[in-house]
Structure 1
Amino acid sequence: MMHCLFDPFINYGFMRRALVACFALSLSTTPLGSFLLLRRMSLVGDALSHAILPGVAIGYLLFGMSLIAMGVGGFIAGLVVTVLAGWVSTMTQLKDDASFAGFYLGSLALGVTLVSLRGSSVDLLHLLFGSILAVDKDAMHFIGIIASITLLILALLYRALVIEAFDAVFLRVNQARFPRLIQALFLVLVVLNLVAGFQILGTLMSVGLMMLPAVAARCWTTSLSWMLVLATTIGMFCSWCGLLWSFYTSLPAGPIIVLSTSMVFLLSVLLGQRDGIALLLRRNLRKKI
């Protein structure tokens, strides 16, 4: 049993690289997912994961499978959609979720169309769902740099992010411009990490490792610090399980990792100590008795 759990990572370099990259992503993306959850912006992360596809596609059309070109293109596309969605919600009566939905759906369609102009169905699947074989040393360095930058900025902005998540009115009253700057930097970090994650998980799946561990952790604790630790742990555990599952079944790694986190999420919803379904059922039975 122990050989099945560890041999793929000991004997195969691409499995080790994929595991290290997934662990780095778990360290940086799950805290962002936790703050998105607390700010009631969970679907914004999903919208941005789709929004980066046109930039990734343009980088692919111009330079081929160049990680730097696709990463820069995806980052620019994500920032453009973020700015446009914020501008539309400010200038009109549309709320943020409606404006993000309009732009991300158009971005997804545009990205798929651009890839179809030159690439094959295999290239499209690689961009949408990622590929474990694409994780080379350059990809690891790219992900490691983004994860390090994310953790450093989160450490510097931690108090402000907590205050904004729980008492945004207080922050707006005391610092008129500060909340906008915090939100802008936060969304930039979200876009950066989605760009980093598309190599393994693809543009459609990268948000899964960001949000699902955070939602699962929320089912077990009300403490923010423990939620961040638990979400990171769940992300790493599901990455390990998903890579093993993918290795032994030859299924795509990105969807399998996200499927693993979905299973942990469902278990957390059922058995979680914070308003889990099983706990609520026990309370209702005690009241009836």
Structure 2
Amino acid sequence: MDMLYQWLIAPFAEFGFMQRALLGSLLLSVSSCPVGVFLMLRRMSLAGDAMAHAILPGAAVGFLLFGLEIVPMTIGGLIAGIVVALGAGAVSRLTVQREDASMAAFYLISLALGVLIVSLRGSSVDLMHVLFGTVLALNDEALGLIGLITAITLIGLSIFWRALVAECLDPLFLRSVSRLGSPVHFVFLALVVLNLVGGFQALGTLLSVGLMMLPAAAARFWTVRVEPMCLLAIAIGAASCVAGLLLSYHASLSSGPSIILSAGVVYAVSIVAGTRGIVATRLRPASHRTA
């Protein structure tokens, strides 16, 4: 029992930085995992990854002007993410290029520009901080920001829940019967950018989308209903955060990658053992298989 306490509870009970890391990552799970579910159901998973990189130039400008200050980097990342999202959407609507191609182009430009800006002033350590985050260094200011983003996200999801679900099923039908079709799309993109900015504080621009998408993708192998899928994604995200932080503490590993790899393990298990995974699909009669 004492060994169980030392392995599972003591790191969080005895160290303030572990408590802040746990609180921040759990708030991110509650906020970003449901957003990841809707990204996946909309077939926009790679767009989420592109937008995660899109916040880098804005955060880098904030770093260039004010150093590793949370508020300037957050505001810069938020502005950059919105500009890239709107710019990619405008290109796809005004030209023959599809949105996925324009998003990829914007994301590559943003990534290169952000790395270049950080390298103008910072060291390789600063670049690693921006790209991969420092969840173990979260302070009260960062926790307050993440908490605010979580509250805004939950309120937004509760208000636009039915419209978001309807758009996942049939966006053209939603636009034909309701004026919410186009507005809810931009509201959703704003929530995506907000959560990527919040995740950037803890996991950096390269890994923030991992906590958003991996639990959602894993939950897809267990249920087909949206509400249980969101709740299960939150549970998987929270468990991955706890496991990743414990792994990083006991094995002296980087905390952000440990969290994402823990979520990756759950995803791999879900592929095989989920109720809609490989084993269940192979054992189910062909006439009963669903897409």
TM-score by length of 2: 0.95
The reply on whether 1:135 has 2:105 as its aligned counterpart is no
Q: Which residue of 1 aligns with 2:195?
A: 193
1 CA distance for matches of 2:222 and 2:285? 19
After TM superposition, the structure 1 = structure 2 runs for residues 229-248 of structure 1, keeping only pairs within 5 Å, are 229-248=231-250
d(CA) in 1 for partners of 2:214 and 2:267?
6
1:83 has 2:83 as partner: no
The amino acid of 2:82's aligned partner reads: L
Residue number among 145, 150, 153 corresponding to 2:156 in the alignment: 153
The alignment yields a C-alpha RMSD, in angstroms, of 1.5
Aligned match of 1:162 in 165, 169, 185? 165
Distance in 2 (CA, whole Å) between partners of 1:162 and 1:280 is: 26
| 1:27 aligns to 2:30 (yes or no) | yes
Partner Cα separation in structure 1 for residue 248 and residue 109 of structure 2: 31
Deviations, residues 181-236 of structure 1 (Å, cap 9, x unaligned): 10111101110110011121110000000011001001001111110110000000
Q: Please give the alpha-carbon distance, in whole angstroms, between the structure 1 residues aligned to 2:170 and 2:105.
A: 29
* Cα shift at 1:284: 7.2
Equivalent residues, number: 285
- Do the aligned residues in 1 keep the contact of 2:42 with 2:168 (CA within 8 Å)? yes
User: 1:1-289 to 2 correspondence within 5 Å?
Assistant: 1-175=4-178, 177-274=179-276, 276-283=277-284
1:84-110 per-position Cα deviation (integer Å, ceiling 9, x unaligned) = 100100011111111100000110010
Paired with 2:275 and 2:135, the residues of 1 have a C-alpha distance of 35
Unaligned runs of 5+ in 2: none
- Shift in Å, 1:278: 1.3
How big is each residue's C-alpha offset from its partner over 1:112-154, in whole Å with a ceiling of 9 and x where there is no partner? 0111111000000011011133200001001000100110011
Q: Percent identity?
A: 53
CA distance in 1, matches of 2:244, 2:102: 34
Which amino acid in structure 2 is aligned with residue 30 of structure 1? C
Q: Is the 8 A contact 1:134 1:199 kept in 2?
A: no
Runs of 4 or more above 2 Å deviation: 280-285
TM-score by length of 1: 0.96
Residue 200 of structure 1 contacts residue 253 of structure 1 at CA under 8 Å; is this kept in 2?
Answer: no
